[in-house]
Amino acid sequence: MKAASAPVATRSFDLMALALAAVLALHAPHLPWWLTASLAPLLALRWWLRRRHQGRVPAWLKLPLLAALLLAIVIWYGNIFGQAPGAALAVGLLVLKLLETESARDARVGMSFACFTLMAALLFDQSMVTTAAVALGLLPPLAALRSLEPGRRVPARFWRELLPGAGLLVAALPLALAAFLLVPRLDSPLWGGASNTDQRTGLSDRMTPADYTHLLVDDSPAMRVSFDGAPPARGLRYFRAYVMGYYDGYSWTRYRRSPRPPAPLEAAAGIRYHISLEPTSQHMLPTLDVPLAAPADATLLHDRVLLAAKPVNRLTDYTLASATHYTLEPQLADSPARWLQLPAGFNPRALALGQQWHERYGNHPMAIVRAALDLFHDGGFRYTLSPAPLGRNAMDDFLFDTHDGFCEHYSSAFTVLMRAAGIPARVVTGYQGGYWNAMGRYLLVRNSDAHAWSEVWIAGRGWVRVDPTAAVRPQRINEGAAAAVPGQLPWYQAGWLQSVRNHWDIVNRWWNQSVNGFNALRQRGLLQPFGIRKIDTATLTTLLAAACVLSMLAGLAWVWRRRAGDDPVRAALRVIERKLAHVGVVRAKGEGPRDFLQRAADALPTQHETLVKLMHLYLELRYANTEPAAESLRALRRATREFRGRRMIK
């Protein structure tokens, strides 16, 4: 039977199943839940059945499964082309491939494609943990490919199958590092699109109360901010993202207008800082409070919102200056009616309360603001991430019935009350707070720090920030988002765990800056420490070729040294020769090892069986494998050590 069509051994099949389990686990975070829930039991069932009897799954079952996979992906994604549907299709086809894998040829094809699919996981997430997981995930398919070598002795322990692959990965690190540093970088990916079509979008330019719940429980980093001087106080750490003025009774959205110059700003001084923003797939660039000017490749809108020229599809760094004490637009450029707009037929009780305040306090807008804040502080309101559902008159339900909500509810209700009282107002969304990492000297802002507040326009003072959430739950502003909701996940909010997570982020920041942030610009300045100000593509190619040649020479030197050294198989044969010489069986000049050992076995009948076993073991290690297995070498050494030549008594 040909080696390519020989049936796959049980150990090899186990390694293949483990490899596909690693593929499925690495892609599970971005696969549809139903696909993972379907493929995992199918993989486990195929492995369980294969351990009981060999045989392919019949075609009448495979073909419907293949058709169902294609149909489900088309229905879910709309097509089979693109990063996310392509990954889902690849993982599904790999698992289905295992249903028909019974020959070495099929196994090699499947494991080669499994290695490619594992690497494709880096298109979705390039974090250090994912990169390490992909490297470890390569061990099972490499072990499976190695187990398919003919004549190979199977190790007694399963985990020993993974050791040679680990050695190969370690040996490949120097060349991989050279390729990382010297392969010419492109300014955009080869596939010409976002690095992750399912990327977390975070904040959006539309806000509906209860929309941000998924963000407020998401502890992944949103951005990291470093300051030229001391960081601003906790109460000043407001990062502006979107300004929303249009309200339809349900949601707040931005006004769409032709570009206008930024609103006038009077500020004594600004804070200079640097932001490293995680991918969002949006144009929005968060800024500390009110930015003074726009950085390169960005536009500062009239409401001092900063938009990038291109969507943020990868880690993005920008530097700018902002004011935390200022007067923004002291003379309102738009008609006040624009910022007093309220839809007809919604929230009659909230409108009536605002009108009462207007009649009571007249032209004293700050008195109306204080009345609203007192209402939130003393009116039995509660900060919670699990508010009761709201009806058509959402703000009426919240203000007069449920009293439960988080920042979106409070900023939306406050803005409605201000407009009803005749005060121009708008909603601002972004981030507030963050953890100051003293060791790394940067502010870590997580998605759970997403926040919404209000701005009211006061004649002569311009737009003034008012955060009604602070009136209900001041801990949200003074102690951060983790302290805003008491009693929720106390173990997760433990001080020691928070400290470990925040210090671990220093490592993640280094990875983002040194690895993910290693772009074409940084590559061109790679040799600046050696006095070379800038290198071009030709120089990079030359250096890469030199690194490859050095790696090849190092590999050849290692092989030469190993061959020049004492071959363990030949050494074992010499030991046997010495022991046989003591009993009068001497190897003749030019006599091959097979003939010699066979002659010795015939000359020593009492040890015939032992010498024949030694002969077969030696021949297998010498000629049946390109690389003797460690377990087989140990068996040969043990048998050689235990062999004792005994003279025949005549």
User: Three-state DSSP class for 253?
Assistant: strand
Per the CB < 8 A criterion, the answer to whether 142 and 168 are in contact is: yes
Calculate the alpha carbon distances from 122 to 23, 55, 83, 309, 488 in Å: 12, 35, 11, 26, 33
Catalytic residues: 407, 451, 467
**Residues paired with 450 in a beta bridge:** 431
Identify which of 131, 57, 141 has the alpha carbon closest to the alpha carbon of residue 96: 57
The residue type found at 456 is V
Q: With helix as H, strand as E and coil as C, how does 366-396 read?
A: HHHHHHHHHHHHHCCCEECCCCCCCCCCHHH
Which tokens belong to 529? 């420490």
Range 12-23 burial, b when 16+ CB lie within 10 A, else e: bbbbbbbbbbbb
CB 83 within 8 A of CB 120: no
State whether residue 468 is helix, strand or coil: coil
Give the burial class of 289: count Cβ atoms within 10 A of its Cβ; 0-12 exposed, 13-18 middle, 19 or more buried: buried
Q: What is the DSSP code string of 108-149?
A: HHHHHHHHHHHHHGGGT---HHHHHHHHHHTHHHHHHHHHTS
DSSP characters for 496-565? Answer: HHHHHHHHHHHHHHHHIIIIIT--HHHHHTTTGGGT-----HHHHHHHHHHHHHHHHHHHHHHHHHHHHS
Instruction: Determine the Cα–Cα distance for residues 279 and 517; give it in Å rounded to an integer.
Output: 12
Beta strands in 87-245 (DSSP E): 206-207, 221-227, 238-244
